[in-house]
Structure 1
Amino acid sequence: MHDIVHTRRIARLLASASAAGLAMATPALAQDQTPPATITPPTAPPTTAAQGPEGAEFGATQDIVVTAQFRQQKLQDIPIAITAVNSAELEAKNQTNLAQVADNAPNVSLKPQGASFGPSVVASIRGVGQNDFNPAYEPGVGIYIDDVYYPQLTGAVFDLLDLDRVEILRGPQGTLAGRNSEGGAIKLYSKKPTGEGGGFVEVSYGSRNRIGVRGAADFKITDTLFGRISGVAKQQEGFVDRIDFGCANPSSGIPATQSGGDCTISKLGGIGYQAIRGILRWQPTDALEVNVIGDYTHDEHTIAGEVLLATSPINSPNVNPVPGVPYDDRFLCGRFCNYITTGQPAATWVPPIPVDPLGAAGTPLAATTGNDRSLYDGWGVSGQINYQVNDTIALTSITGYREFDTRFDSDDDLSPANVGFGKNHLTNWSFSQELRANAQLTDALNLTIGAYYFKQESLYDSLQDIRYVPVFPLQFRQPDPTKADAKAVFAQASFNPFEGFTLSGGLRYTDESKDQQYFRLNLDGTVNRFLDPVGAVYGVGYSGPDTQGLFGGGTVTALSGLIAKYSAKRVDYRLAADYRFSPELLVYASFSTGFKGGGSNPRPFNAQQVIPFAPEQLNAYEVGLKSDFFDRKARFNLSAFINDYKDIQIPVSTCPGAPCAARLNAGEGQIKGFEAELSVFPVPGLAIDASLSYLTFKYNADSLNPSATFPTNPGGVVANDPPTVPPWKFGLGAQYKADLGNAGSITPRFDVNYQDKQYTGPTVLNGTRIRNFIPAYTLVNARLTWTNANEDLDISLEALNLLDKYYLLTIFDLRGAGAGFRKGRPGSPQEFALTVKKKF
């Protein structure tokens, strides 16, 4: 009852401010601000609050109020495909990070990356997204924390700490959310302080020494100032053994670094996460509300555990760990182990005999060292001011700042061989400001206008020690800064010409730019002569005549100091029409556009490889229905879409036999698909939810860029390549709350998730193009919860991956580039945990 009263009070507060005003955003691209979710039961509320999926205890679906179109609307009234999950459902499904929520949403993929990409994710919605964390690239899915846009894929597997809800908007949100929400947007909303007191403390213990503590407290400071603070700390051992190869294979000739019988150095894929969030909410009058939100995250753990799946043998004195021992299948360890090292020894470069065109023979290579830890620190602060000028007009100001710093090392070959080793340090800060006015012009016409500014800077300082390239050594630093900014103005309107029928539309103009600067330096800070011969001779930033005649005369340009500039202006728009045939059925149709920004190749090996790529564009056509049937005991939402995809950005190899991948615009394509979501509440206490999605992708063969296609470009596309997301996804969950009277209640829950096989890109071996796929898999999770009669104490036993399925999250194949390895990141094996939660 307390939760229902709480949400009704929030609803009254929201009604006193504008729908736009309660759209608490703060940083970059926060263009679709949404107030705390309001859940209103269809009938008089029962004596206890809803538990688990929305409406499970009521025995009927509930109304969730959001402002995806800058004004308050029920979720079932919005002509957008949205998956919304409240806090009770997150808890019931054991969902503690964002990737787990995405697993249950149709046509949504959010997966953690392998160790080569640090603490980053691959994010896509409806087949549109991004798989590379490099700040030179833009994400295709917008991720927001309390309406604060998170501009990078690094660190984006957020813990779901003290959330009110998660919203996933599918389809391009170019007008509502702005740039880089081409595939859609994912939004996390914290519980806001009410001053009513209360909170919770939760502790858990489980497999692999899993220890977790979570808590939150709401408090009243004055009659008009309220606060809420929440925090989480969790740790867990990894599940991929890092083994000393020489210790485990004493006859190999490779020296051991471990002594004794235990050859395991560490457990990779661990968890070490701490975060805290504080919120102050000031409401001196019914017309004015100010929210200030601050958060800090420290994430330190062993790097992602990967396993070697296959090799293409390399027999080179620069690569072999000891003479006579090539890099080959001997370093395949098993399903949950590898042989990584954390550096490479000092050496002298041995060129291929008899060819040495660059005079690389005898080049000294310094020893490189690192560790098997991943470190991420991030924080943010936002201020949101909402002012109701009068009954017609509301104003909103949203200011945000975010910053993170991450370090990770990677032994890509997963062995003691000296194939490649990298040390990575990435920093990023971003600032945004938005001003918005919302007007209720008539009973039938709503209008929102606004302006937006965003700025960010990144520095990606990477030390690479790559020794498999046969021509010359690649031991260098690349401390490359990237600066970006964007400005936008937008308008959104909705019109009800007659009862049941609504027309809505939006328009956004965006002006964005990006500068990326390159440096290719030796470890001592001098210019690397192999990667930047012009810079080594003429100096950093040189562009002019070849006065010494060393490069054939004419004008030459140094790679170090070179700045690649990108800018674009873009107009996005959206049109939608919906008609409510009855209180139970809404149908809609829409057309919307979106784009993902362009830029230049961030990993060139010479100035000629600084290749620009244009923005990616999407035009989306969608039809759908939203329905509640059988006295609201069943909710069924269905959508179907066609995406016309233009200037598709793809990764390709620009120099065979070396890892100089770039982005090119491949051409045009079309994505088609559908999504279905079902919630059923046959009787009070029983909840069943399901989702199903499918998509297919096809290139327009006549539009393909020859520079981006195979065989012209190794690793490039061909016309019949499949989508790089799973075509089919399916999820099914069920729970039943059994009342035990004075003994409380007990709730068993089961969730089943299926993911189809997923294409991860090609590799080329001996002239043959090979497609890589992550195999399909099905996971089963379970939870059994006892709740006391007062409903302030929960004890839960949970099982993740109950059937102990072996599956892969990623596959990374660099055999075609000459690196010799194909590796993957396995998902977590079966684990159990006991959790105790006390509410107060």
Structure 2
Amino acid sequence: PAAEESTGGIEDIVVTAQRRSESVQDVPIAISAFSADQLRNQGVSNTLELGRFVPNLVSMNNTGIGSANAFYLRGLGNTETIPTFDPPVGTYVDDIYLSRQNANNINLFDVERVEVLRGPQGTLFGRNTTGGAVNVILKEPGSEFGGFAEIGYGRFDKKVARGSMDIPLAESLSIKVSGYWQNDDGFTKNVTTGQRINDDDGWGARLGIRGELSPSVRWNGSYAHIVANGENILNFQCNPGDPDDCKGRFATTGIPSGKSSADSPFASLPISGRKKNFLMGNYTTTDLVTSNLEFDVAEHATLNLITGFISQDQTYALDFYDGRSGPSLANPVPPVRGYVRGGFAILNDSQHEQFSQEVKLNGSFADGLVDYVAGAFYLVEKNRTDFADTFTLSPTTTLLLADRIMRNKTEALAGYAQADVNVTEQIKLTAGIRYTDETKSVDVRDNRASCNDGTVEATCMNTANLIGPSGLKVPDKLKAKIWTPRFAVNFKATDDILLFASATRGFKSGGWNARATAANAFLPFGPEKVWSYETGVKSDWLDNRVRANVTLFYTDVSDLQTPSALVNPNGSATFITRNFADMTNKGIEAELTVVPVDGLNLYVNAGYQDAKYKIDRNAPDFDEYGIQSVNAQQRACQALLAAGNIPGGTGTTAACGAGIVTPEGGIADPTRTPDWTIAFGGSYELELGSNGMSLVPSVNASYRSSQETNAANYTIYSGSITGTNGTYPANPYDGDIITGSFSPAAWFVNANLALNGADKKWQLSIACTNCFNETAANTSLVNTRYIDQPMTWMARARYNF
């Protein structure tokens, strides 16, 4: 069973963090595990909301794209969805790795459990897990007929329907049919078009199959089709056109919402393909096939053939400037224009396919002296991205910054092995290793007519023109061959106390700065590598009534990949990603669970971290592609400041408040690394008489301290300022926050009240998320702040059969 409940104590969750089934308390890894009941009691309906419960985890919707999550664990994360970037926190569904972040905001409507593994998992989970992994395990078909049906209604006219049914077809064969549908009006009012935006519509269906093909052969497979239409479009607490109107959320972009139309405002521009007819919105369609065929190959050994296939289409048109220009010191609050083509817009039409095959062997030998897991892994991913960037200067003037098709492919082979030597009943030594051989390739073709008339000008975004400012050709292939070991020691002091220490290496693939709109900025960046050192204790006390887990960690990151963006003098945006620096992070994570009496469950989770960049002070002023080093950039910024210039003003945007150099000329704090993350709450099941009914109230609160959300820590504050490069109506130092990187500390509260029928056959519940309507920003883009969703409530009725 995936979860078992000890009588009168804390639920013991069985996890697969080491690619085999073990109690979460026996795994020498910092891991937060949530059963289906815990997720429901804590109001977690999708993977985005995990960030309010896991120490040192910050999660957010990507800018614009509501179906995509960016996870930052211990300071390692990535906000990009374009397929030349890989996320350092991997998302897995039933052991199948999701390469893309485009639609990883997974609806948790029929899951067995969710595991959040903190720290690099490069030995057993592979590439791109330098920060950790989010592992979603879906419920297998049951051996008896049963299931549930649920409907709900909530704020913003949100309607939800969910259901699942287990159907035994034979004694050794069962299927599960499940699905969900949701629709809402959106929490943001577009005062220009009169439409509501930032909705979260979609539906999904899943067919699961579980069969015992023979006494020694088992198969578990599934097919899921998921359609998501969710946005995270720039919006504001007060109406930009009427600042006194602060009742709701507002946007002013002139792009009408919808999927596609011949009347699209982009149709008259020289944009190729069907994307020229897109309207405002984000649409993804995902097909996910998983198969796990298990064989008993010996008395103490099992072999698994794990196969995954993912096909995903994504289309969107998104305005990142709300129908106007980007904020700057000279123009901190751009006037509302309502440009029908938006301000800075990206049109995207992409297709992604991924196939993976893993062969995994689990077992033990020498009468249990050695437990092992070993295997081989193959992945091939193919992507086609047709995308265009536009910047609107006036109602009649829109610049087509770039229009290109990019095809890129990843092929990776890996082999891994890990052995646990049970030296004594108390001491276990672990050693593991993984070898990865990976090749990436990219090809770019400019869609503009002048680049397809038989000649290719130097300004065309074609592969042949990808040459850095220094004149060095950008490679169209990147190769990586790397070993990622793990070492650990466990000491089982008692049956209820585990002490452990470990050292683990991980790496994240390199890639290309595909957001570039000029050929000489389409530059490569190298792999990101990390060593993580942990020590901790996992313990149960007072007859399993108290659980206390504590982990101390130190992370040493080499060649950190850092996406950065800045506002150009004309108001458009420039994107650049480089291995700007190394980084260290150290901290502590604690999770305390208490069940003082039956029915009452209390918890406190807390994380502290101290992340710092490390700069190579001996680096040359320019790298091989002609890009200035951080050391040289910082010197240039400090020289400008010494001359009386205001950072962010004329002549300083390339040196001060750019990359990871702050406006003050210092080195920035790493993004999304709040010093403190704290979550606490609980639930109590109150029996109502002798009829079997119960009332279950639950409250969950979370806190994070202040953080920076922009690589350069650039924030625009109120208060005019004068320097040698001009006078500006705002400043980059202090005052009231207008927009930008700095995000103050924030509290969030979720609450739920459920009435259960006899034997929990039915349930009525009412829940609120962000109950006090707090506002905070977890991300920003080119001086704009993307704030969290407002308060929502949902009433549900559920019937179990």
Structure-2-length-normalised TM-score: 0.83
Q: Distance in 1 between matches of 2:385 and 2:533?
A: 38
In structure 2, the residue matched to 1:745 is: 694
Given candidates 372, 397, 406, the residue that maps to 2:305 is: 397
> CA 1:704 to 1:411, structure 2 compared with 1: closer, same or farther past 3 Å?
farther
Given candidates 63, 79, 91, the residue that maps to 2:40 is: 91
User: Are 2:756 and 1:787 aligned?
Assistant: yes
Find the residue that maps to 1:803 and give its secondary structure.
coil
Contact 2:613/2:670 (CA < 8 Å) preserved in 1?
Answer: no
In structure 2, the residue matched to 1:437 is: 361
Find the residue that maps to 1:100 and give its secondary structure.
helix
1:587 deviates by 0.8
User: Are 2:374 and 1:449 aligned?
Assistant: yes
> CA 1:163 to 1:703, structure 2 compared with 1: closer, same or farther past 3 Å?
farther
Contact 1:208/1:236 (CA < 8 Å) preserved in 2?
Answer: yes
Q: Distance in 2 between matches of 1:414 and 1:555?
A: 37
In structure 1, the residue matched to 2:785 is: 824
Which string of whole-angstrom CA distances, capped at 9 and with x for unpartnered residues, describes residues 9-41 of structure 1?
xxxxxxxxxxxxxxxxxxxxxxxxxxxx23152
Contact 1:309/1:332 (CA < 8 Å) preserved in 2?
Answer: no
Which string of whole-angstrom CA distances, capped at 9 and with x for unpartnered residues, describes residues 518-540 of structure 1?
223326873799xx73276xx96
User: Are 2:432 and 1:506 aligned?
Assistant: yes
1:310 deviates by 12
In structure 2, the residue matched to 1:203 is: 151
In structure 2, the residue matched to 1:624 is: 536
Q: Distance in 2 between matches of 1:656 and 1:345?
A: 23
Q: Distance in 1 between matches of 2:754 and 2:166?
A: 25
In structure 1, the residue matched to 2:645 is: none
Find the residue that maps to 1:96 and give its secondary structure.
coil
Q: Distance in 1 between matches of 2:349 and 2:547?
A: 47
Q: Where does the alignment leave 5 or more consecutive residues of structure 2 unmatched?
A: 256-263, 324-337, 622-627, 637-653, 717-724, 734-739
- Aligned pairs (5 A) from 1:561-640: 564-640=476-552
In structure 1, the residue matched to 2:60 is: 111
> CA 1:523 to 1:504, structure 2 compared with 1: closer, same or farther past 3 Å?
same
Give, as a single letter, the amino acid of the residue that structure 2 aligns with 1:306: L
User: Are 2:74 and 1:126 aligned?
Assistant: yes
Runs of at least 4 residues off by over 6 Å: 328-333, 345-349, 554-557, 764-771
> CA 1:490 to 1:292, structure 2 compared with 1: closer, same or farther past 3 Å?
same
User: Are 2:272 and 1:272 aligned?
Assistant: no
> CA 1:428 to 1:626, structure 2 compared with 1: closer, same or farther past 3 Å?
same
Q: Where does the alignment leave 5 or more consecutive residues of structure 1 unmatched?
A: 1-6, 8-36, 44-57, 245-263, 312-327, 350-362, 546-553, 815-821
> CA 1:682 to 1:556, structure 2 compared with 1: closer, same or farther past 3 Å?
closer
Contact 1:114/1:810 (CA < 8 Å) preserved in 2?
Answer: yes
Which string of whole-angstrom CA distances, capped at 9 and with x for unpartnered residues, describes residues 153-197 of structure 1?
111111002111000111100101000011111111111113211
Q: Distance in 1 between matches of 2:618 and 2:489?
A: 34
Given candidates 670, 688, 713, the residue that maps to 2:602 is: 688
Contact 1:696/1:722 (CA < 8 Å) preserved in 2?
Answer: no
Q: Distance in 1 between matches of 2:660 and 2:742?
A: 15
In structure 1, the residue matched to 2:668 is: 721
Find the residue that maps to 1:135 and give its secondary structure.
coil
Contact 2:67/2:228 (CA < 8 Å) preserved in 1?
Answer: no
RMSD over aligned Cα atoms: 3.2
Given candidates 234, 238, 254, the residue that maps to 1:306 is: 234
> CA 1:631 to 1:459, structure 2 compared with 1: closer, same or farther past 3 Å?
same
Find the residue that maps to 1:684 and give its secondary structure.
coil
Give, as a single letter, the amino acid of the residue that structure 1 aligns with 2:4: I
In structure 2, the residue matched to 1:227 is: 175
User: Are 2:449 and 1:520 aligned?
Assistant: no
Q: Distance in 2 between matches of 1:136 and 1:413?
A: 24
Give, as a single letter, the amino acid of the residue that structure 2 aligns with 1:462: F
User: Are 2:799 and 1:838 aligned?
Assistant: yes
In structure 2, the residue matched to 1:801 is: 770
User: Are 2:293 and 1:385 aligned?
Assistant: yes
In structure 1, the residue matched to 2:557 is: 645
In structure 2, the residue matched to 1:51 is: none
Q: Distance in 2 between matches of 1:375 and 1:602?
A: 21
Range moving further from structure 2, 106-115 or 648-657: 648-657
Contact 1:197/1:220 (CA < 8 Å) preserved in 2?
Answer: yes
Q: Distance in 2 between matches of 1:534 and 1:573?
A: 45
> CA 1:569 to 1:649, structure 2 compared with 1: closer, same or farther past 3 Å?
same
> CA 1:604 to 1:743, structure 2 compared with 1: closer, same or farther past 3 Å?
closer
Contact 1:195/1:221 (CA < 8 Å) preserved in 2?
Answer: no
Give, as a single letter, the amino acid of the residue that structure 1 aligns with 2:68: S
> CA 1:829 to 1:699, structure 2 compared with 1: closer, same or farther past 3 Å?
closer
In structure 2, the residue matched to 1:192 is: 140
Taking only the aligned residue pairs, the percentage that are identical comes to 27
- Aligned pairs (5 A) from 1:215-254: 215-244=163-192
Q: Distance in 1 between matches of 2:681 and 2:10?
A: 16
Contact 1:290/1:385 (CA < 8 Å) preserved in 2?
Answer: yes
1:700 deviates by 2.1
1:774 deviates by 2.2
> CA 1:684 to 1:524, structure 2 compared with 1: closer, same or farther past 3 Å?
farther
Q: Distance in 2 between matches of 1:691 and 1:653?
A: 34
Give, as a single letter, the amino acid of the residue that structure 2 aligns with 1:387: F
> CA 1:688 to 1:534, structure 2 compared with 1: closer, same or farther past 3 Å?
same
> CA 1:520 to 1:472, structure 2 compared with 1: closer, same or farther past 3 Å?
farther
Q: Distance in 2 between matches of 1:236 and 1:330?
A: 26
Which string of whole-angstrom CA distances, capped at 9 and with x for unpartnered residues, describes residues 185-236 of structure 1?
1111111113211100011112111111111111111122111111111112
| Matched length | 713
Q: Distance in 2 between matches of 1:617 and 1:396?
A: 29
Contact 1:308/1:414 (CA < 8 Å) preserved in 2?
Answer: no
Structure-1-length-normalised TM-score: 0.79
User: Are 2:425 and 1:464 aligned?
Assistant: no
In structure 2, the residue matched to 1:773 is: 742
Contact 2:386/2:406 (CA < 8 Å) preserved in 1?
Answer: yes
Quick check: which has more Rg, 1 or 2?
1
In structure 2, the residue matched to 1:678 is: 592
Q: Distance in 2 between matches of 1:234 and 1:222?
A: 33
Give, as a single letter, the amino acid of the residue that structure 2 aligns with 1:148: I
In structure 2, the residue matched to 1:288 is: 217
Which string of whole-angstrom CA distances, capped at 9 and with x for unpartnered residues, describes residues 25-76 of structure 1?
xxxxxxxxxxxx23152x4xxxxxxxxxxxxxx3x12322223223332111
Find the residue that maps to 1:533 and give its secondary structure.
coil
In structure 1, the residue matched to 2:321 is: 413
1:309 deviates by 9.1
Q: Distance in 2 between matches of 1:118 and 1:794?
A: 29
Find the residue that maps to 1:219 and give its secondary structure.
strand
> CA 1:498 to 1:455, structure 2 compared with 1: closer, same or farther past 3 Å?
same
Q: Distance in 1 between matches of 2:598 and 2:547?
A: 15
Given candidates 407, 418, 424, the residue that maps to 1:481 is: 407
1:296 deviates by 0.6
Q: Distance in 2 between matches of 1:555 and 1:226?
A: 62
